[in-house]
Structure 1
Amino acid sequence: MTTPETRYTLAPDGVHIAYQVTGTGDLDLVLMQGTVSHLEIAWEDANLRRLFDRLGMFSRLIRFDRRGMGMSDPLDAIPTFDEQLADFGTVMDAARCGRATVVGTTDGGVLALSFAAAHPERVSSVVAFETSPRLIPSPDDDFGVDFEVLQRMASASAAIDLDAHLSIVAPARKDEPGFRSWFRRYIRSASSGFRIDAFIRGQMSWDIRDRLSDVVAPVLVMNRTGNTILPMRNARALAAALPDARLVEIDGTGTTIFADDVDDVDDIADEIEGFLTGTRPPPRHDRVLTTVLFTDVVGSTQRAAELGDRSWRDLLERHHRLLRAELDRFGGQEVHTAGDGFLATFDSPRRAIECARAAASAIGSIGLDIRAGVHTGEVELSDGEVQGLAVHIGARISALAGAGEVFVSSTVKDLVVGSGIDFDERGEHELKGVPGAWRVFAAV
């Protein structure tokens, strides 16, 4: 995967704002992600990469890190609301974009709506994803967050408590191989000069209710039905308060746009495409039978903390080289990697198991332990990604394995009868998000 070039533009007050331009569509779409962002590391997550690629099919996608975040200049103090608001215009000017759809997630949605109210001549439409015009609850209206959950998230961020943080922002991906280490690096690299919890506390004073009536552009309001911080009442109240708004409820949990699976990302992109162009892509029916292999490093968060970011990154690069060598040797196809996690496909479950064993041995030589999960089933192919229930099953089985172990589903065990591979039964398990109980085996 080649990361797009990061460009820089100078804001009027001398702060460099980082931005990227991708996509081949005719519409200009300017995206600010909420709370934390990092233009380059974001591409390493399969869900975000899928989102950017999908949006780029029908738009020229302009993304930027707000001041003090990610690749933009670090700051010594929290930027003001007006400073962050002005960054939209600064980036649009740099990208030679006179008029665009502005998209904001969470607090980025607050800024997108405010920019539309202040500069109607530059905004053709708005997408506000999981956005509340005011965070502090009031008995006078339905706006406001679940304050106790927000405090827990700020505390988890301050304490670098990954489990607590993920249980709020992306509970459906909490046990996904590789996602944990990617998320840790993403949030630690995103902020520069100040802590995320301080940034969140600064947002508590925001209140743009009086600006909503000035948003004359059509607005797509989107919210997950199971959002752990912003209940659906916020989205309904926001849509009702805007002059021209359409409300879309998305099934799922979490508080970030990448919180659920790739199918969820496709649903979000489909809704945005339909809102902006009046058409939606045809149903995706390209399904094939394949074997999926998931691997990730056991204890990666603790090891990364012990080594420090630079040494951990060097060690992770060695891990990647060794694993890719085994994939080539056994005929595996790398689908994507996130942090220390890999997803690959094989046309043979036996070769997937043998690859996992060989990779565990090779990577063990550099002092790392990996675990692996293998499952065979139908998957949906879409622009180089694999999706579907079989992928979720493989990920959940991998999460059950311990250091050096290769766990497989009963489907895989039955398919490799006669291969000479022996198995130990590891019990029947409920796999999160997967119907029924599944018998799991360890390849020995």
Structure 2
Amino acid sequence: MNNLDLPVTRYAANGDINIAYQAMGTGPLDIIMVPGIVSHVEFMHELIGYTAFLRRLSTFARVVTFDKRGQGLSDRISGAPSLEVRMDDVRAVMDDVGSKRAVIVGFSEGSAMSVLFAATYPERVVQLVLIAGFALASEFQSANLEERIAQRVRNWGTGELIKTVIAQQASNPDAISQFGKLERNAASPGGIKAILLLNAQIDVRPVLPNVRVPTLVLHRQTDAQIPVALGRSLAAQIPGAKFIEYPDGDHAFWSGDTEPMIGDIEEFVTGHRDSSSSELERVLATVLFTDIVDSTRSAAAMGDQAWRRSLDSHDQLARQMLERHRGILVKNTGDGILATFDGPGRAVKCALAFSTAAKQMGLPLRAGLHTGEIEIRGQDVGGIAVHAAARVMAQSQASEVLVSRVVTDLVAGAGLKFTERGSYELKGIPGRWDLFAASA
């Protein structure tokens, strides 16, 4: 598979039910990713960071993802599958890909089933990794369970779940819209109700002492979906389990700075940590983030086909502007771009030209720039400088190009003008930041 290609969806038969799965990478060991409450093996690749996370794992393993029965591209069923049934579906997927033994990585709700699988089929499990997991569902659910489930069902398909799964994107209307689409693709309201009712009964505490495979439990302290205390408790009840917690981050394993977590997984399953975790290429660059103002409202007003044509025009314009100013397109973000430049002056000029041209097309942009050290991660980039540029953009108004003070200091004498916009606290980044609006 080419590094830029997405894996092909295949199906594993378990009786009359077909389980959709994808495999990525050709490493010497297999990793089976057990999903959380919602999944769709194809649409999940639309979520920022998800594909990059799997590709990073695939540098040292063959990575298999799947949709549990009743969800995503797997066959729909009546009711919800029990942990025992889901466990058998994992066996069916492993058989179909020819995996005799694998590392089982369970996420969120999937952690409970992964524990059960490891205890039941230890001969098929090399190691067990549990991310943002729990043993007893009632420990993090509100007292009024029926009302909570009814509210979740009423809001299903709106993206409401993003508030606790990817909290850092909870104020981004485009991210909410995208997550709502994931919800609708993953399950119907009736289907998710059945799953929620079943999940409320999860209690694998009696099974935990029977887990005899090496186990790694990972949890973020700021997880808004599953409190970190439940991860600590889960690890404490598994004989010999290793527990690592991270000071910040979302519930979704693919969100934010994922390298520490991936590095810990790599070290646990391979015994070393010599991939990109310790040898990331670091360079100084100017990072540009843009997005289209009120894109969700514009899409609704224009209709899908017209909006798609506008996005195509936007993407073509972005490529032209980047080529003209020697920028590198890292990726499209749905309704915007992430790009890098080796010169801050050209970066600002590109942002201004792009903003002006896009406005003439009826697509006003927000743009933010920051210069700092970035990490080259294959086709992607990471590091504080990337997060800072995104946060600067978030403060921008329509058709405005905002930059950090370091950018203004570096382009002195380049014929650019800057107007003070004030001092801001940028979410997740220490200190106060002086921001400036750029003009030619």
TM-score (norm 1): 0.87
Name the residue aligned to 2:43.
41
Deviation at 1:393, TM superposition (A): 1.2
1:338 alignment partner in structure 2: 333
1:443, CA displacement in angstroms?
1.9
In structure 2, how many angstroms separate the alpha carbons of the residues matched to 1:406 and 1:177?
20
Tell me the CA shift for residue 46 of structure 1: 4.3
In structure 2, the partner of 1:247 is 243
AA partner of residue 411 (structure 1): V
1:25 is aligned to 2:27: yes
* Alignment partner, residue 212 of structure 1: 208
Q: Distance in 2 between matches of 1:56 and 1:441?
A: 41
Query: Is 1:85 the counterpart of 2:87 in the alignment?
Result: yes
Structural mapping, 1:257-406, within 5 Å: 257-259=253-255, 261-262=256-257, 265-281=258-274, 283-284=278-279, 286-305=281-300, 312-313=307-308, 315-364=310-359, 366-406=361-401
Q: Distance in 2 between matches of 1:51 and 1:42?
A: 12
Q: Residue in 1 aligned with 2:56?
A: 54
Q: 1:160 to 1:439 in 2, by over 3 A?
A: farther
Q: Provide Cα deviations, 1:147-198, integer angstroms capped at 9, x if missing partner.
A: 3799879846742697864442222344679755543443343335746465
Aligned residues: 433
Counterpart amino acid of 1:277? T
Structure 1 position 27, deviation (Å):
0.9
8 A contact 2:158–2:177 mirrored in 1: no
Matching of residue 145 in structure 1 with residue 148 in structure 2: no
Q: State whether structure 2 residue 121 is matched by structure 1 residue 119.
A: yes
The residue aligned with 2:225 is 229
User: 1:366–1:255: structure 2 CA closer, same or farther, 3 Å change rule?
Assistant: same
SS in 2 for 1:5: coil
Distance in 1 between the 2:337 and 2:320 partners?
13
Taking the aligned partners of 1:205 and 1:11, their CA distance within structure 2 comes to 25
Helix, strand or coil for the counterpart of 2:316? helix
**In the TM superposition, what is the alpha-carbon distance from 1:47 to its structure 2 partner?**
2.2
Q: Equivalent residue for 1:69?
A: 71
Which position in structure 1 is the counterpart of 2:421?
426
**Alpha-carbon displacement from aligned partner over 1:199-224 (angstroms, at most 9, x marks no partner):** 33431122222222332222111111
Partner of 1:9: 12
| Per-residue deviation, 1:227 | 1.9
Q: 1:153 to 1:192 in 2, by over 3 A?
A: closer
Please give the root-mean-square deviation of Cα atoms over the aligned residues, in Å: 2.9
Q: Say if 1:76 and 1:194, in contact at 8 Å, map to a contact too.
A: no
Q: CA deviation at 1:323?
A: 2.0
Higher mean alpha-carbon deviation, 85-94 vs 360-369, is at 360-369
Equivalent AA in structure 2 for residue 327 of structure 1? L
Shift of 1:87: 1.6
The CA deviation at 1:252 is 1.5
Q: CA deviation at 1:28?
A: 1.0
1:83-118 Cα deviation digits (max 9, x unpaired):
322220111111011111111100111111111222
Q: Indicate how the Cα distance of structure 1 residues 155 and 125 shifts in structure 2: closer, same or farther if over 3 A, else same.
A: same
Q: Which residue of 2 aligns with 1:140?
A: none
Report SS of the residue matched to 1:62. strand
> Measured at CA, do residues 104 and 430 of structure 1 come closer, stay the same or move farther in structure 2, by a change above 3 Å?
same
Structure 2 CA distance, aligned partners of 1:391 and 1:330?
19
Consecutive unaligned residues in structure 2, runs of 5 or more: none
Question: For the Cα contact (< 8 Å) 2:368–2:394, is it kept in 1?
Answer: yes
From the superposition, tell whether residues 232 and 70 of structure 1 become closer, same or farther in structure 2 (CA, over 3 Å). same
SS at 2:319 equivalent: helix
Amino acid across the alignment from 2:266: E
Contact 1:134/1:207 (<8 A) preserved = yes
2:198 aligns to what?
Answer: 202
The letter for the 2-side match of 1:109 is: S
Once the two structures are aligned, what percentage of the paired residues are identical?
39
For residues 166 and 279 of structure 1, do their structure 2 counterparts lie closer, same or farther at Cα, with a shift above 3 Å needed?
same
Contact 1:68 1:193 (C-alpha < 8 Å) held by counterparts? no
After superposition, the C-alpha distances for 1:228-260 in whole angstroms (9 at most, x for unaligned) are: 23223322222222234221112214322123x
Which structure has more RCO (C-alpha within 8 Å, separation ≥ 6)? 1
Aligned to 1:141: none
SS of alignment partner, residue 226 of structure 1: coil
Whether the 8 Å CA contact 1:19–1:91 is kept in 2: the answer is yes
Q: Assess if the C-alpha contact under 8 Å between 1:131 and 1:235 holds in 2.
A: yes
- Structure 1 residue ranges without an equivalent (≥5): 137-143
Compute the displacement of 1:418 (Å).
Answer: 2.8
Change (3 A) 1:246 1:122: same
